[in-house]
Structure 1
Amino acid sequence: MNLKTKITLAFLTMLLLLLGVSAFTLYSLNRLDRSARNVLRDNLYSVELGQHMLRALDRLQAQEAPLDTQAKQRFEQLLAREAGNVTEPGEQQVVDSLFSELADTERYLASDTTALQLWTAHMGQLRQLTYRMVGLNTQALTRKNEAANRLATEQTGYVLALLTFAVLTCLLFVLSVPEAAVSGLRKLSASIENATHQDYSNSIPVEGHDEFGAVARAFNRLLVQLQDYRTSTLAQLLAERNRMVSLVNNLDEGLLLVDENRRLILANPVAQQLLSLPPEQLLNRPAEEIAQQNDLFRELLRHLDTPAAQRPTEAAPVLTLAQHDEEAYYRVSVNDVVSFNEVLDKMEFVGSILTLRNVSEYKKLDQAKSNFLATVSHELKTPLSSINFSLKLLQNGKVGPVNEEQQNILATIKQENQRLLRLVGELIDVSRLESGNIQLNFQAARVAEVVQFAAATIQLQLQPKQLTLDIQIADTLPAVRADIEKTTWVLLNLLANAIRYSPEQAQIHIRAALTTEAQPQIRISVQDHGPGIAPQYQEKIFQRFVQIPDKNGYKGGSGLGLSIAREFIGSQGGQLWVESELGSGSTFSFTLPLARPE
């Protein structure tokens, strides 16, 4: 029998008991009511009639002569009513005797006799018979009242017994049915609680074929499937974990993982070797605590604390470490890890990955390249200078006359030779920058003077395109701390590029103003109205040997000018960048720190 049928039968039984108790109680009350009504109708009415008859006799007997016919008629009427309400044994004989005595009294009245004794005898006989009639009904009333009391007591006992049985039966259902409904839920709740703690062995015992039995069987099947799924999932997770651990441990570069609470949660063997610390002194420890004990980790933490927007975009920093009695170079890379939180429906920061990649081989190759460029540049500079001197002699005619066609050829050769000299000079500057041998001559300088000198130098290059310079520099600008020669070189390079890409009869704007940062600097800008630079090339143009596509077909540059310019400005404590949109020209800007007051 299922649980629903049990509960339904329990409620139906309770309802039937309630109806039975109510019906029996109504029956008992109705029976008592009928008994009381019979007593009132049969006996109490006769007693009342007898009392009224006695009062009528009192009125007749109070007369000296029997002349009160109204009292006599009243007695006759009451006697007639009593004759119609005879209910007790012997009562009929008494009523007949009353009728007979009343007839004798009427004959006495018809004889015109006035004997007082005879009248008194008749009245006494009527009174005696009336008392006997009242006595019979009074005895019957007492007897029936006792019987009614016994019946009431009996019915009360039956009602109490039936009510007790009903209450006990209801209590049985109240205690058993909810327990039967809740016991299964308790077992299910306990099993679910164990399952939440990954204990799938606590199954529910199947004790019947009701709903809970079906639920228990289904839940036990679910536990078996969960156990199988957990076993297979754990095996897959362990396999994936072992695979990932093997990959991380076999990496040829150092790998560190710092969580969002700045605790180090992963360090592969290469990182442990570079930090010279065992795993127990690294894992699950605060990053600041490790940094206090390890200089290399403190340097890595410094790069980690650098905001992502301010981290180098061209090349990650390179650390020089002593390894096996020789210098090793490791490039530091910091990547922030974000993950989507489905509960909060947003992206959240979950940690950072620090990698140390061994770039010693590349560094050696780069150094060899730099040495080769420096050697070639120095070796080329002398013959190119000699060629340039010889070309001047040929053009001057000191070694013999030269015709016009030969002059044109010499001019072309000289132009190409000058380009080679500039390229060699730029290569020499690059080699100096890479070796760190560049010498800076810092001094206080007025921006207006530097700009005027560069503008005067560039005037001849403005004439072929009929370009003009628009210079707006306030005389109140403070002096900057800079290398005047190299700053002028940067400004001339920017102006040369602006002239190259500006349309004819256009203006080139030169601006200088004080920035509003916490540490103010002077910002110098060169704006042209050329074709502009696409966003994907705006950072690449500052890389070495990079040239953006030119629809005008210009290929005279080496791709080193802007790279050297950024190095010159960066070495002076400033920044160089570009702001441009296609079709709207470009604005190259650089900043220089203010000169310290003496």
Structure 2
Amino acid sequence: MKIKTKISLGLIFLFLAILLTGGLGVWYLHQLSADAKNILQDNYETLEYSKKMLESLEKNTNENKRFEQNLIAQEQNISEIGEKDVTQQLRAKFNLFKKDSSISHIGSMRQYIFQLMELNMNAIIRKNQVATKRADDAITLLSFVLAAVVLFTFSFIFNFPNYIAEPIAELTKGIKEIANKNYEQRLHFKANDEFGDLANAFNKMAEKLNNYEHSNLAELLFEKRRIEAIINNMNDAIIGLDEQNNVLFVNQIAVQILGLKESEIIGKYAPDIALNNDLLRSLLQNEASSNPIKIFADQKESYFTKDILAVKNAENTASGTVIILKNITKFQESDLEKDNFIAAISHELKTPISAIKASLELLTDEKNGKTNKIQKELINKLKQEAELIIMITNELSKTAQNHDDLLEKK
């Protein structure tokens, strides 16, 4: 018998035993709950109604309305044999009492109420005995099932580990030898079960690893890992695609920018990934652009330029594409700082130039004194120069604003 079959049979037995135990427990609990509910709903409520009706009869004031309410409730809660007849007799006597408030009617009503209470007290005792017997039966049956489960489980736990411990220990030793590149290691299990299959698979794996270790493939994979390490250490984001647009490789920077895990990208069809990734969808457009792309990365906005390199094989046919995103955030920030500086300078120059113009206007006003011909020429010259400076500062401000608007659009 295979190990899988043994474990399956053991677990199936345990499952059925647990299911049986749980099912019996739930069934008995449901029955006990139903018994308790019946006692409370059918009998205890009748006792409460009877008690309230007796209290109504004991009071000197008119309590017919309260008595009527409890009598109606009792009529709707009849559950025991003979209880209906007694309730009907109590109703008839109460109807007579409402017409003639005689003490004899009160005595008869008390007698019927006591009969109701006695019927329900006897029912409570009887139902309690049934519930007690049911609980005892449940304890006995569940104890028997639990004992059988415990015995089987103990036997399973005690014997099964001994059966698998030795092969696992030998397998662990073999794996450690393989990890130390001792590919001559072999397993020898004399069994026709899964352990025998495992030994055969392990031995085949060790043989292939031994052949691989001495082949040129190892050198190729070593070079591949070295190239991957170089790509991962580059500051630019790099995505490699084959001719069918399947992702061959991505470096860590590209993974961070895309906001995906490497396992969600490598080997996947790029257009499928792009369905839920706006950035990759824009990158797959086969158009290189000098305009910067604004991407939120590393908890800040960064700027990148996109380059697309077509990879061709020896036959000069396309075999893939490499997308490179160059980080130009520092240059973009420098441009922004330059524009801010120009805008600040332009703003600061306008105030003193405006003051100069105002002063020149005052000088030309004859109220402040006459000026000769040379002074007028100098003043006009200064006005022209002031206008020229104002025009230059306005052009600088306009250029800086246009550059900022262009960056916002990009």
User: Does the alignment reach a TM-score above 0.5?
Assistant: no
State the TM-score, normalizing by the size of structure 2.
Answer: 0.41
Of Structure 1 and Structure 2, the greater helix share is in 2
Which structure is richer in relative contact order (CA contacts within 8 A, separation 6 or more)? 2
Of Structure 1 and Structure 2, the greater strand share is in 1
State the TM-score, normalizing by the size of structure 1.
Answer: 0.29
